Every structure is written in structure tokens, then in C-alpha cells.
Structure 1
Amino acid sequence: MFKNVTPEKGRRVGDGGGESRRSSVGRPGPSGKKSDWVLRQRGDDQKGFEFKDQGNYNEVANAVVSFVQQQLVSLCELLPFPLPPTAGEANSVIYATQNFQEHPGPLLLLVCGSAPGGAAGVWGRSLCINATLHEGAMFDYIFRAEALGWAVVVANPNINEIHGIPITGSESPHQHLATLWKSYMESAQASNVLVVAHSYGAPLIVHLLKVFASARARISALAFTDAWPPGGFLEEKIPEEKEAPTPAESALRKVLLDFAKKTPEAFAPAEPEVVSTLQQVGRNFRASPLPAGTFLGVGEVVEVSAGHQSHPSTTHAATEPLFLFLQQGAQGDAPKANEELRAARAA
């Protein structure tokens, strides 16, 4: 169960399951922040998760995702909004600041990577389980954005069906982002839109730029954290069929074939206006051991170090320079900031 004591009030936050009174006394995670929860065994408050088998890990991981999404509401005070907005046979939810559509300041969109590692509110399940929610969940990003006066929207791209019923407009992760944009964000009163997209969240956002001119016009800073696939998120590719593929390779090819059928634009070359937008306001915080923010070069977008070599850890490791970039974007200065990096490297 997750344990945390809020330092400012010294009270138990609980585990979201109503059983905290029967567990040992909680303690704050390493940072002491309210976003910092650590997973501890009920029988021994000094022990974290211990792997037994894959089935047990999956049960714990599912419980962690459920807990995090409860906390998006109870801790972060976000509200669930249905997607599609009109009630249908099946729908998913996004999480957002109350009255986010009327908010006049910047609006921050948070996009996780692919399942099972990514989920609404979760950058990486493994970090949530083996490290802390401060590293693996989106809480710290949400609190930082709110402290800056920004509204927040958390996408939920990996929920595509409910009990076998496809969710209209969210049949694939790409379609989810497109429906979210068209339903809620395109008409929002925000001064501009800022985006953080981890891993496979990158091609989802690129697809959004391809199909919505309004997204190209309104997104003023786009921060990828270790965008996947490397060097191929502007135009997704179907892996060639192998004679003896591994189960993972077969599964990936099947998934991408399905995505290509549903959203062919994602697998087509990016038009010049999309490339231009990405070069101006996009920045990839790539996995690297160099200090966070160190300029690495220019690929599909400007690339800097995330400050960590591990893919799941890049979003947390890059927090400080990434928020600096978002703040530059909120002021309309992301293109200038990227150009300064290119010029400094050239010099």
C-alpha cells in the first residue's frame, strides 16, 4: 500500500482503499512533497515491493494505476470529464482542472506513453512500484503547473474499449487525442497550449498536428520525453514481417497495423507546416547521462539531455529544464529558445 504523511499537516493521507488504519504508520517519501508516496508492505513498513511472479506484478500494477487515478481527483483536485462528451454505449474519461475550458491562461496537456507502462496520471508503472509516485506519476507536474497559474488536462489514450465495446472517438490512442482536441481543447479560451508527451505520446501529438491546423496554431511549447520510436515519430513505420518473430515483435506489428488502418495520417510523411511547427516549438528530452538540458543536436526536433539514461525515468529527471522550456513557450519564446540552442552549438 502507498504511504505518505503530508509534512505540513502531519496526518495520514491513506491508501485510497480504506485500510490505512490497519497498516503500520506511514512516512513521507524521499522528497517530503505531497506528491511523494512510496509503496510499502502491510506487514513491514520498511519493505517495498518484492517480485513474486508476473501475475502478482500485474495485480499490483493495476492497483497502482487505479490508486493514482483516484488521487488525480482527491489529491490533485482534478475532475473527470467524459470522452466522448455525450453519453454513449461506452466512454472513457480525461482528468482536468475545473472550468479548464474557460481558463484564460496557459493550458498544459499531459500525455502518457503506451500501455501497459503508461496510463492517465502515470508516466511509468515500474517507477510508481519500485521508486515513488513523485517519479512515476504526474502529480508533481500537475502541482507545478497549478502553482504557475496554468490549467491542466490529463489525457487517457490507452483506454480504447469498455467490456469489449469500442469507445467512439477513442478506438486508438491517436483517435483519443484527436477527439480530446476537437471536443474540449480546440474551443478552450486558453492563451496558449503547452504539451508534455512521454515515449509513444510523441507520435500521438504529431498526428494531432497533422490533422488539426488549430493545434499547430495554438501549441506554443511541445516537450517530448524520450520520444518513441527514436527518429521515427514524424512518420510512423510498420516493422517488416520477420520469418521467426518473437511474440513481442508480432504483437507490436499487429498493433501498429491496426493503428495505421484507423489513422493513416500518422503513418504518412509530415507536411512542411508540421515539420516547421515541430522545429520551432518542439524539444525532445532524450535519455542521456549528460546533465539535464544539455544540447544534444537537432533531429526531428531539437534534442537535449533528459539527465537520465533509463527511458521510464526521463520525464522526472528532466523536470527543471523542461518546465523552464514550457514557461518560455507560455511567453511565446519557445522558437527563440530553440534557435539560441542551435546558434550556441554552431558557435
Structure 2
Amino acid sequence: MFHDIKTILLFLSLLKLLGSTKQILSWRHSENKCLMQPENGLEHSNKKDIEMSILDKNSERNSGDDVSSADCEMEEKESSQKLMPEATKGSKTEGDVKLTSSNQCNLSHKEKYKKKFCGGKQMKLFPSKESGKILLKDPNVISTPQNHNKSKIKRKSLESFKYRFNEKGQLRHIKTGRPFEFNISNNRRDNEKNYEELGEAVTHHIYNMLQNEMKLEKVYVPINRIGSEPQSFIFQSKDALTNPHKLLLLVHGSGAVRAGQWARRLLINDCLDSGSQMPFIKRAVQSSFAVLVLNTNLNRSKKTGNKIRRNGSALEHLLYVWDNFVVPAKAKHIAFICHSYGGVATAKLANQRRDFLSRISAVAFTDSMPDNYINDADVKEFFKKKSRNWVTSKEPIDTVVNSFNGTVPKVSAGHTKHEMTSWSSFHSIFKYLNEKIPEPSSKTDSKAEL
């Protein structure tokens, strides 16, 4: 009996010994097969947890987060340095390696690149297309990041939208000759995006017209740029600072409009005459005015969104132009034509620059509401005598319009639409300016020359 028990125990010991030997052989086989070993006793379960955390980061990146190429590269570099031990010369860590939760390596893949990448090199982590795997690559191999389009977006021209302004100044389709069609698809957002992009193309078309057809100079502000800070710009005639007699400033309203525009909707759906400042510039030059075209809505950098120094709002822009262009100008008579909120900003300018009252000869408002921003008695008296506001009305042009606040005299613009008031008042405005600012006489000119 005792002999049988002893035999059984001996048999169990042999089985246990065989199992240990088999496990040792398995470990050695695994050691020879794998290319990457845990560092400092890193357990397989911990490695798997780390792998999953990296995969979570990759899935977050692919979910639509805006991550730059540099950020991706830095994250991959830091992950590789934290998770993977530095390979030593002569070890089996060369080439591209795939780590999975089962800690198995792709030997055929390793053998393929074994000779290409050898020596002690720090591995980097790259997401593999296969789910649950991470690809290690040599750091000297350049890999193009995916889904990170860093190329600059080229500005679209009117022609790229298949539109151009015809001889009548109307925006028409190049092939069909039809007006602009807002609905290009059943998706409202696509239609709005297309309209905004077309509006941007129209804006730059107007800029080109100001320079090429109106012969105005583009001047960046602030003029004393610091480093690479963002700038706005205005347009001026060559004699803006030297014309000894007359200077005219054009100030548009708020919103998407930029220098040279009264209303973008009119530019797209009506014509250049009604929506742009071109007719006003032409008439001003014909009437011997020097011209300054302001750009009160360009207040921030398009790239960073940061405010432009001393031009961060419509009022700041007006104040800057006043201090740096109007004050040094030699013109004896200075006039404003202001639409909508441009008139409000001009009224605020009058409150903050007291020399406004002595230097300005006339202000023409179009459907503006400056009255509530005129506070001081002397400023109110100035606007009563030297300004006029053409407002929306069913009455004929220049018909006096009564109002509760009578600081600025109001007359009918001869139109009921707000955005049309500048164009509908065009002839009346210049008639008014000519009354306030007489043409220079020959005697005055001769004295000025002396």
C-alpha cells in the first residue's frame, strides 16, 4: 500500500517536472520569436492596457478633431519614448514590428525589412490599418500624415463660379447669361456656403476695380507695422493728402461689406452702380475731390482671429484714419458720405475728435441713425447746419421727413429699401455737397499757388 502511494507521488512529480520543462521551452521559443520585450518587468496585461490607451487616442484623432501634423508627430514621439525601451545594438528589434494583445510578432514582415533597418534605433508608434494593432517604424523613415490638409486654400475668382459682370455691371452666368441662382442644391447649408464664397469673390473683384479702374492706391493700416502683426487697409487717391481744396471720405455700413461696397446683396442681385461705391468715386474725382475709401469692417486677422491694432472696430478704424490721414491732409474742405452704421461711427468720431467740427464742411448720411450718439450741444449744432440724412420713404426724393429727434435734418431717399438709399440719393447727395463746398475760384487757386 505504502509502495503504491510512493509510486503515485513519484509519477506526479515527473508530470510536474515535464510541465515545467514544457513551459520553459515555450518561454524560450517565445523569447526567440518576439522582437520586443517588456522593460523593467512590464507585465503583459499592463502592456495591453497601454496599447488600448494609444488606440483610444488614435480613434479620437480620426473622429474629426483638428490635430496638426506637428501635434501628431509629437504625440507619437512621446508615446514611443514612454512605452518602448530603446533598442540596443545587436538585439532583435530592427525593422517594422506589430504588437498585438497576444504579444505575437510578424516574422515574415520583420525578415522583409531586417536588412533595411538595423542597429540600435528608437522605435516610433504609427497606427496600423488593422484594428487593435500598432505599427512601429524607424524614425528615419518619413511618413506623410493622413487626413491633415495643410495646403493653403486658393482664393476663388468670379470666373471659377462661372459668373462675371457684364457691360451693364450686372452679375451674369458666363454660359447662360442668367442672374445668380442661390439654390444650387437641396441642401441649404451648401447654398449658403456657395453664396458666401461668391460674395468673397465679389469683394476681391471690387478691390481690383478700385485699384485698376479707379486708380486708387491700397494703403495698409496700421502703417507702422510691428513684426508680422495683422493689418487692415484702405484705398486713397494719389492726391488724398496733397489736394489743397477738397477731400471726400466714403464710409460703408456694418456686416459683410468691405471697402468700395454699399450692399453685397445689390452687387450680386442688382448691379455695380447700386451696390458699389464706384459711381461716387467717379463723380468725386470729376468734382475735384481727393478720395479716401474706408474699410471699417475688416477688424480681425482672418488666420488667427486676433484684432488688428488700432483698427479693431469701426470706430477705432475711423479714429486711426482721422489721426493719420485726415489730420495731415491739406484739404480746406472735407466731406463724409456715410451709409447706415457708418454714420453712427462718424457721429462717435465727432464726439472724440474736437477738430472734426472745424475741418468738416458737410456730412451726407444715407438711412443712418446718428442722432442718438450726438451728445454735446456744439456737436448737435454742427450736425444741424452741416449734415443731411436721406432715409427710406415713399415720398419723392428730397422731401422733408419729420422725426421726433431733429438733430440731423432728414429727407426722403425716394426709396423704401434700406440698402438702396445710397444709390437712389446719388445725384441729390452731390448736389448737396456742391452747395456746401463751392468750386475753387481762379483767384483762390492763384493765391494757393503763391
TM superposition score category, shorter chain reference? 0.7 to 0.9
Superposed, 1:319-334 pairs within 5 Å as 319-331=426-438
CA distance in 1, matches of 2:330, 2:376: 27
* Pair 1:309 & 2:416 matched: yes
**Which residue pairs with 1:12 in the alignment?**
none
CA distance in 2, matches of 1:25, 1:293: 35
**Which residue pairs with 1:64 in the alignment?**
202
CA distance in 1, matches of 2:438, 2:351: 24
Among 254, 257, 280, which residue is 2:385 paired with? 280
Q: Which has the higher contact order (CA 8 A, sep 6+)?
A: 1
**Which residue pairs with 2:215 in the alignment?**
77
**Which residue pairs with 1:185 in the alignment?**
326
Residues 158 and 201, structure 2, Cα contact 8 Å, conserved in 1: no
Instruction: Say if 1:285 and 1:25 are closer, same or farther in 2 by CA, change over 3 A.
Output: closer
**Which residue pairs with 2:238 in the alignment?**
98
Q: Deviations over 1:143-186 (max 9, x none)?
A: 00000111010000001111222111111111100110001111
Instruction: Say if 1:139 and 1:177 are closer, same or farther in 2 by CA, change over 3 A.
Output: same
* Pair 1:270 & 2:375 matched: yes
Percent identity of the aligned residues?
30
CA distance in 1, matches of 2:417, 2:159: 34
CA distance in 2, matches of 1:180, 1:311: 27
CA distance in 1, matches of 2:181, 2:162: 18
TM-score, normalising length: structure 2: 0.57
List gaps (5 residues or longer) in structure 1.
1-15, 30-36, 237-268, 333-347
Q: Deviations over 1:20-40 (max 9, x none)?
A: 9x97997421xxxxxxx1101
Alignment-mate amino acid for residue 178 of structure 1: L
List gaps (5 residues or longer) in structure 2.
1-155, 184-190, 440-450
**Which residue pairs with 2:170 in the alignment?**
38
Alignment-mate amino acid for residue 78 of structure 1: L
Shift of 1:235: 3.4
Structure 1 stretch displaced more, 323-332 or 142-151: 323-332
Shift of 1:188: 0.4
Q: Deviations over 1:124-161 (max 9, x none)?
A: 00000000011100000000000011101000000111
Superposed, 1:156-175 pairs within 5 Å as 156-162=295-301, 163=303, 164-175=305-316
Alignment-mate amino acid for residue 195 of structure 2: Y
**Which residue pairs with 1:48 in the alignment?**
179
Shift of 1:17: 4.7
Q: What's the Cα RMSD here? A: 2.1
Instruction: Say if 1:142 and 1:24 are closer, same or farther in 2 by CA, change over 3 A.
Output: closer
Q: Deviations over 1:231-285 (max 9, x none)?
A: xx3435xxxxxxxxxxxxxxxxxxxxxxxxxxxxxxxx61111111111111000
Alignment-mate amino acid for residue 286 of structure 1: V
Among 290, 294, 309, which residue is 2:399 paired with? 294
Partner of 2:414, secondary structure, is coil
Residues 107 and 152, structure 1, Cα contact 8 Å, conserved in 2: yes
CA distance in 2, matches of 1:201, 1:306: 17
Alignment-mate amino acid for residue 223 of structure 2: P
**Which residue pairs with 1:213 in the alignment?**
354
**Which residue pairs with 2:372 in the alignment?**
235
**Which residue pairs with 2:260 in the alignment?**
121
Instruction: Say if 1:234 and 1:304 are closer, same or farther in 2 by CA, change over 3 A.
Output: closer
Instruction: Say if 1:42 and 1:276 are closer, same or farther in 2 by CA, change over 3 A.
Output: same
Partner of 2:317, secondary structure, is helix
Partner of 2:244, secondary structure, is coil
Structure 1 stretch displaced more, 160-169 or 135-144: 160-169
Residues 113 and 200, structure 1, Cα contact 8 Å, conserved in 2: yes
**Which residue pairs with 2:252 in the alignment?**
112
Instruction: Say if 1:26 and 1:51 are closer, same or farther in 2 by CA, change over 3 A.
Output: closer
CA distance in 2, matches of 1:40, 1:285: 31
**Which residue pairs with 2:442 in the alignment?**
none
Shift of 1:296: 1.4
Instruction: Say if 1:211 and 1:189 are closer, same or farther in 2 by CA, change over 3 A.
Output: same
CA distance in 1, matches of 2:341, 2:387: 15
Residues 258 and 296, structure 2, Cα contact 8 Å, conserved in 1: yes
Instruction: Say if 1:77 and 1:186 are closer, same or farther in 2 by CA, change over 3 A.
Output: same
Alignment-mate amino acid for residue 326 of structure 1: L
Residues 283 and 301, structure 1, Cα contact 8 Å, conserved in 2: yes
Partner of 2:274, secondary structure, is helix
Q: Which stretches of structure 1, 4 residues or more, deviate above 3 A after TM superposition? A: 16-20, 22-27
Residues 84 and 183, structure 1, Cα contact 8 Å, conserved in 2: no
Shift of 1:331: 2.8
Alignment-mate amino acid for residue 54 of structure 1: E
CA distance in 1, matches of 2:165, 2:255: 30
